[in-house]
């Protein structure tokens, strides 16, 4: 971990509106200000804003920098009750505010180039909202959902940046395959960091919407730890299902049955990778029925319209038997990734 890594906690702020109608968060402890520019993302119970921080040093020199700020209403979160199961399958009644505090607890431990960095938590008892100040990934999601076409669209701005950075790679492979090699090698690096014995963190909602890209350091950035879980040890099982149906592993769908969160995360990345390399089309998807999607995940095999060795790799990642599914180290050492 970076020896200078620290997540600041701020509990004394003042909110106002500037002349342009933008919300301003002023830190009464150090005099800095966050100006909230525009909404750049939405979650189940949060909004993410692009913000510019303004501050000055002791000599009066003025500075500014861009951040993303996740804003959540504490009162609303507290009213939203939910049930969770711990690693022993014991049921716990909780609410979404406690889930957010668990997300912050996990996120504060993370310092890696492939994880969106959490810099500051603003939680003033007299204010309605809690704010998470985080790294701004300027190019956004690797893919975005196209509701009309019922598939994902690849973020071509990311592809263009990668093409500039890796001209030799792009001269050998199509733009889609070349960019996939770079992007998903970095995604698996980020997952390996989360799954390491020092962290034991299962993401549980890996999907294109939660995989961002920053042109500042040319890295992917995994984000959104709302339903993530930190295990007691690598052998501990998960009992709460992952977050988004088309990315759920087959073994995670049986209520009351524990499953390996590590293997389930690998499956989810495999679904993302399959879609990226298959014109944005998900391997298991029925737009009319969530149950039909789940049944497809359980019982059907996708069409592997890939050449070797990619076909072998995808089959190994999307193996329905978690015991036979490829391990992270097998994936990262696979010949398809070797040219990156």
Domain membership of residue 272 (yes or no) is yes
Q: What phi, psi does 279 have (nearest 5°)? A: 60, 30
Q: Are residues 197 and 297 in the same domain?
A: yes
Q: Are residues 168 and 219 in the same domain?
A: yes
DSSP 85-129: E-TT--EEEEEHHHHHHHHHHHHTT---TTBPPEEEEE--TTSSE
Q: Are residues 242 and 123 in the same domain?
A: no
Domain membership of residue 147 (yes or no) is yes
- Residue 122 and residue 133 in contact, taking contact as beta carbons nearer than 8 Å: yes
Q: Is the peptide bond before 264 cis (omega within 30 degrees of 0)?
A: no
Query: In this structure, how many other beta carbons lie within 10 angstroms of the beta carbon of residue 148?
Result: 5
Question: How far is the C-alpha of 197 from the C-alpha of 182, rounded, in Å?
Answer: 25
The predicted structure's pLDDT at residue 42 = 85
Question: How far is the C-alpha of 13 from the C-alpha of 313, rounded, in Å?
Answer: 51
Question: How far is the C-alpha of 319 from the C-alpha of 316, rounded, in Å?
Answer: 5
**3-class secondary-structure state, position 171:** helix
Q: Which tokens is 129 given?
A: 């909202």
The predicted structure's pLDDT at residue 91 = 80
The predicted structure's pLDDT at residue 10 = 96
CA dihedral 231, 232, 234, 236 (to 10 degrees): -80
| Tens digit of each residue's pLDDT (9 = 90 or more) over 66-107 | 999 999 999 999 999 888 877 778 788 889 999 999 999 999
Q: Are residues 321 and 260 in the same domain?
A: yes
In angstroms, what CA-CA distances link 287 with 71, 188, 232, 284? Answer: 30, 28, 37, 10
Domain membership of residue 276 (yes or no) is yes
Q: Which tokens is 302 given?
A: 């996708």
Q: Are residues 294 and 313 in the same domain?
A: yes
The predicted structure's pLDDT at residue 2 = 63
Q: Are residues 70 and 201 in the same domain?
A: no
Q: Are residues 170 and 116 in the same domain?
A: no
Q: What is the CATH number of the domain that holds 53?
A: 3.30.200.20
Q: Are residues 235 and 129 in the same domain?
A: no
Total number of domains constituting the chain: 2
Q: Are residues 107 and 157 in the same domain?
A: no
Q: Which one of 86, 115, 134 terminates a domain?
A: 134
The predicted structure's pLDDT at residue 45 = 79
**3-class secondary-structure state, position 259:** strand
- Residue 117 and residue 60 in contact, taking contact as beta carbons nearer than 8 Å: no
Mapping DSSP onto H, E and C, the string for 29-88 reads CCCCEEEEEEEEEECCCCEEEEEEEEEECCCCCEEEEEEEEEEEEHHHHHHCEEEEECCC
Q: Are residues 158 and 304 in the same domain?
A: yes
The predicted structure's pLDDT at residue 59 = 86
| Tens digit of each residue's pLDDT (9 = 90 or more) over 160-212 | 999 999 999 999 999 999 999 999 999 999 999 999 999 999 999 999 999 99
Q: Are residues 128 and 150 in the same domain?
A: no
Q: Which one of 119, 134, 149 terminates a domain?
A: 134
Question: How far is the C-alpha of 314 from the C-alpha of 273, rounded, in Å?
Answer: 8
**Residue 306, burial from CB neighbour count under 10 angstroms (0-12, 13-18, 19+):** middle
Q: Mean pLDDT for each consecutive 10-residue tract of the chain (340 residues)?
A: 80 94 94 95 87 91 95 94 78 89 96 97 96 97 97 98 97 97 98 96 97 97 95 90 93 88 98 98 94 95 95 98 97 88
Question: How far is the C-alpha of 136 from the C-alpha of 85, rounded, in Å?
Answer: 33
Which residues make Cβ contacts (< 8 Å) with residue 49, sequence separation at least 6?
Answer: 36, 37, 38, 39, 40, 68, 69, 71
Query: In this structure, how many other beta carbons lie within 10 angstroms of the beta carbon of residue 180?
Result: 24
Strand 8-10 relative to strand 118-122: parallel, antiparallel, unpaired? Answer: parallel
CA 198 to chain centre: 19
Backbone region of residue 115 per phi and psi (left: phi > 0; alpha: psi in -120 to 50; beta: other values): beta
**Residue 54, burial from CB neighbour count under 10 angstroms (0-12, 13-18, 19+):** middle
- Domain extent, residue 57, equals 12-77+103-134
Q: What is the CATH number of the domain that holds 313?
A: 1.10.510.10
Q: Which tokens is 101 given?
A: 């505090």
The predicted structure's pLDDT at residue 241 = 85
Q: Are residues 303 and 185 in the same domain?
A: yes
What DSSP designation does 216 have? T
Domain membership of residue 183 (yes or no) is yes
């Amino acid at each position: 971990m970076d020896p200078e890594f620290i997540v600041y906690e701020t509990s004394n702020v003042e909110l106002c509106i500037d002349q342009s109608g933008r919300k301003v968060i002023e830190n009464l402890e150090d005099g800095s200000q966050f100006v909230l520019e525009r909404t750049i993302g939405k979650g189940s119970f949060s909004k993410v804003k692009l913000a510019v921080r303004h501050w000055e040093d002791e000599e009066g020199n003025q500075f500014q920098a861009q951040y993303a700020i996740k804003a959540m209403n504490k009162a609303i979160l507290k009213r939203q009750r939910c049930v969770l199961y711990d690693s022993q399958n014991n049921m716990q009644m909780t609410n979404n505010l406690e889930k957010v505090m668990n997300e912050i607890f996990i996120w504060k431990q993370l310092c890696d180039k492939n994880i969106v960095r959490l810099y500051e938590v603003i939680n003033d008892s007299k204010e309605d909202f809690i704010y998470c100040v985080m790294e701004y990934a300027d190019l956004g999601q690797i893919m975005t959902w196209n509701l009309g076409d019922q598939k994902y669209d690849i973020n071509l701005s990311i592809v263009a940046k990668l093409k500039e950075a890796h001209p030799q790679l792009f001269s050998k492979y199509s733009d889609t395959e070349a960019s996939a090699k770079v992007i998903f090698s970095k995604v698996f690096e980020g997952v390996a960091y989360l799954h390491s014995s020092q962290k034991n963190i299962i993401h549980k909602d890996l999907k294109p919407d939660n995989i961002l890209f920053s042109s500042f350091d040319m890295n992917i950035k995994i984000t959104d730890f709302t339903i993530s879980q930190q295990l007691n040890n690598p052998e501990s099982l998960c009992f709460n299902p992952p977050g988004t149906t088309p990315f759920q592993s087959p073994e995670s769908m049986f209520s009351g049955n524990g499953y390996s969160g590590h293997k389930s995360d690998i499956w989810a990345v495999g679904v993302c990778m399959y879609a990226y390399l298959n014109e944005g089309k998900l391997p298991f998807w029925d737009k009319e029925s969530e149950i039909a999607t789940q049944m497809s995940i359980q019982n059907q095999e996708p069409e592997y319209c890939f050449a070797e060795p990619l076909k072998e790799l995808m089959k190994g990642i999307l193996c329905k038997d978690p015991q036979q599914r490829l391990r992270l180290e097998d994936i990262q050492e696979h010949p398809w990734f070797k040219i990156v």
